[in-house]
A and B are shown apart, each in its own frame.
Chain A
Amino acid sequence: MKKVFLRAAALLLAMVCTHAWAQDGYREQMKGLDEQVQEVKSDVLSISAELSQLEEKLLYPSDTHFALFVQLAKGDTLRLDSVDVKVDGQPAAHYIYSFKELEALQKGGVQRLYTGNIASGEHQLEVTVAGKRANGEAYSRSETVAFTKEIKPKLLGLTVSSDSISSAGW
Chain B
Amino acid sequence: MRRASTIALAVALTALSGIQPCAAADTDPSADTHCSSSWVSAVARAVLPWLHSCEAGGKDSIGAGSTDGARDPYFGESLYNAYQGHWFEALQRLDAELGQHYRVDDQTQDSLYPLIGQAEFSVGDFELNYRMHHRAGRAITAVLEADVPDAVRNEAAFRLARIHFQKGQPQDAMHALERIHGEVPENIADEIEFLRANTFLAMGQPAEAAVVLKQLLGAEGLEGFAGYNYGIALLQDGKTEAGQQQLAKAGAAGRKDSKAVVAIRDKANMVLGRLMLEAKDYANAQRYFDRVSLEGPYSNQALLSAGWADAMAGNYQRALVPWKLLASRESTDSAVQEAKLALPHAYGKLNLHGRAAVLYDEALKSFGEELEMLEFSTQSVRDGYFLKALAREEIQQDKLWVVKLRDLEEAPETFYLTKLMASHDFQTALQNYLDLEDLRRKLESWQTGFDAYDDVIRQRHDYYEPLLPGVDAQFRELDAQYKLRSEQRDILARRLDDQLTKPRPELLAKADERIALDRINATAAAIKRLPEAERDAHMARIERLRGALTWTLRTQYPDRLGEAHAHLEELDVELGTLQQRYRSFVRARQASVHSYMGYDDGIRDLRNRVRDSLERVGQLQKQQGALIEAVAIEELTARAERLKGYQTQARYAVADSYDRASQAQGGAPAASTTPDATATPDATATPGAPAGEGK
Which A residues form the contact surface with B (CB < 8 A)? 1-2, 4-6, 8-13, 15-16, 19-20, 22-23, 26-27, 29-30, 33-38, 40-45, 47-54, 58-59, 61, 63, 67, 69, 71, 74, 100-101, 103-105, 107-112, 151, 155, 157, 159, 170
Contacts and interface: CB of A to CB of B under 8 A. Distances in A.
Contact of B77 (A19, A44, A58, A110): A110
Interface string B27-70: 00000001100000000000000000000000010110111111
Interface string B610-638: 10010011001001100100110010001
Contact of A26 (B442, B587, B602, B627): B627
Contact of A38 (B134, B595, B638, B653): B134
Contacts of A112: 73, 77
A47 B656 contact: no
Given A71-B76, A108-B66, 14 more contacts: A1-B656, A2-B4, A15-B641, A22-B634, A30-B428, A37-B620, A40-B439, A47-B613, A48-B88, A61-B594, A61-B595, A63-B587, A107-B65, A109-B80
A30 B629 CA distance: 12
Given A30-B425, A30-B627, A44-B613, A16 B131 contact: no
A108 B432 contact: no
B7 A37 contact: no
Contact of B436 (A23, A37, A47): A37
Interface string B1-17: 10111011011001000
Interface residues of B, number: 88
Contacts of A63: 587, 591
A110 B3 contact: no
Most chain B Cβ neighbours within 10 Å, of A22, A59, A104:
A104
B69 A41 contact: no
A154 to B, nearest CB: 12
A108 B620 contact: no
A44 B606 contact: no
Given A29-B627, A107-B79, A23 B69 contact: no
B95 A38 contact: no
Interface in B575-607: 587, 591, 594-595, 599, 602-603, 606
A49 B436 CA distance: 18
A9 B82 CA distance: 49
Contact of A157 (B66, B73, B429, B645): B73
A107 B612 CA distance: 38
Nearest to B95: A49
Main secondary structure of the interface of B (DSSP, over half): helix
25 contacts: A4-B649, A4-B653, A12-B11, A19-B634, A20-B34, A22-B634, A26-B631, A26-B634, A30-B425, A33-B623, A40-B439, A41-B88, A43-B613, A47-B446, A52-B96, A54-B606, A58-B456, A58-B457, A58-B599, A101-B80, A103-B83, A107-B60, A108-B63, A109-B69, A110-B73
B642 A47 contact: no
B130 interface: yes
B267 interface: no
A152 to B, nearest CB: 12
Interface in B427-443: 428-429, 432, 435-436, 439, 442-443
B105 to A, nearest CB: 16
Contacts of B96: 49, 52-53
A41 B133 CA distance: 11
B399 to A, nearest CB: 10
B645 A41 contact: no
A40 B617 contact: yes
B638 A26 contact: no
Given A42-B135, A45-B95, A109-B81, A36 B649 contact: no
B372 to A, nearest CB: 20
Q: Which of B11, B70, B132 is packed against the most chain A CB atoms within 10 Å?
A: B70
A26 B628 CA distance: 9
B456 to A, nearest CB: 7
B351 to A, nearest CB: 14
B84 interface: yes
Contacts of B631: 23, 26
A61 B627 contact: no
A23 to B, nearest CB: 5
A9 B446 contact: no
A54 B617 contact: no
Contacts of A34: 131, 428-429, 432
Nearest to A50: B606
A33 B111 contact: no
Most buried by B among A43, A47, A157, A170: A47
B648 interface: yes
Contact of A108 (B67, B641, B645): B67
B107 interface: no
Interface string B80-119: 1111100010011001100100000000000100000000
Nearest to A120: B584
B92 A49 contact: yes
Contacts of A12: 8, 11, 642, 645
Contacts of B67: 71, 74, 107-108
Given A33-B429, A69-B76, A109-B81, A8 B645 contact: yes
Contacts of B449: 51
B439 A41 contact: yes
A105 B67 CA distance: 9
B645 A69 contact: no
Contacts of B34: 20, 23, 27
Contacts of B443: 44, 47
Nearest to B136: A38
Contacts of A30: 425, 428-429, 627
B453 interface: yes
B609 interface: yes
Nearest to B348: A1
Contacts of A108: 63, 65-70, 76, 79
A40 to B, nearest CB: 6
B376 interface: no
A51 B606 contact: yes
B630 A26 contact: yes
Nearest to A101: B84
B73 A170 contact: yes
B652 interface: yes
A5 B453 CA distance: 71
Contact of A54 (B95, B135, B595, B599): B599
A15 B638 contact: yes
A158 B552 CA distance: 65
B587 A110 contact: no
Q: Among A45, A71, A100, find the residue whose CB has the most chain B CB atoms closer than 10 A.
A: A45
Nearest to A9: B7
A5 B1 CA distance: 7
A37 B624 contact: yes
Nearest to B37: A27
Contacts of A61: 591, 594-595
